[in-house]
Amino acid sequence: VDLLSCHAGARGSERANLLASIVGSLEWIRGCFSVLGDLLMYEDKQIIVESIQRFMEFELHMLQVEMDALGSE
């Protein structure tokens, strides 16, 4: 068994898992924005806008952490 190819395969699998996690996060964010958009029609808009801003900052931070982990491999 070629240890180098085994290691490369394992690293490729790790990268695929990280990418899947990032894609999953983006899909979840899209769903949340859909719900938040619906709320904007019925709720206090200032509270919703502030919540969206905080949510976006948090999600962008989490995506950056995942991208940094992917880049450091």
Query: Domain segments of the chain: what residues?
Result: 3-71
The answer to whether the beta carbons of residues 25 and 59 sit under 8 Å apart is yes
Identify the pLDDT of residue 34. Answer: 81
Q: Which residues of 19-31 are buried (b: 16+ CB within 10 A; e: fewer)?
A: eeebeeeeeebee
Identify the pLDDT of residue 14. Answer: 73
pLDDT tens digits along 8-66: 565 667 777 777 787 888 888 888 788 777 777 776 667 777 877 888 888 888 888 88
Helices (H) and strands (E) in the chain, counts: 2, 0
Identify the pLDDT of residue 21. Answer: 80
- Whole-prediction pTM value? 0.42
Identify the pLDDT of residue 43. Answer: 65
Q: How far apart, in whole angstroms, are the C-alpha atoms of residue 9 and residue 61?
A: 29
3 has pLDDT over 70: no
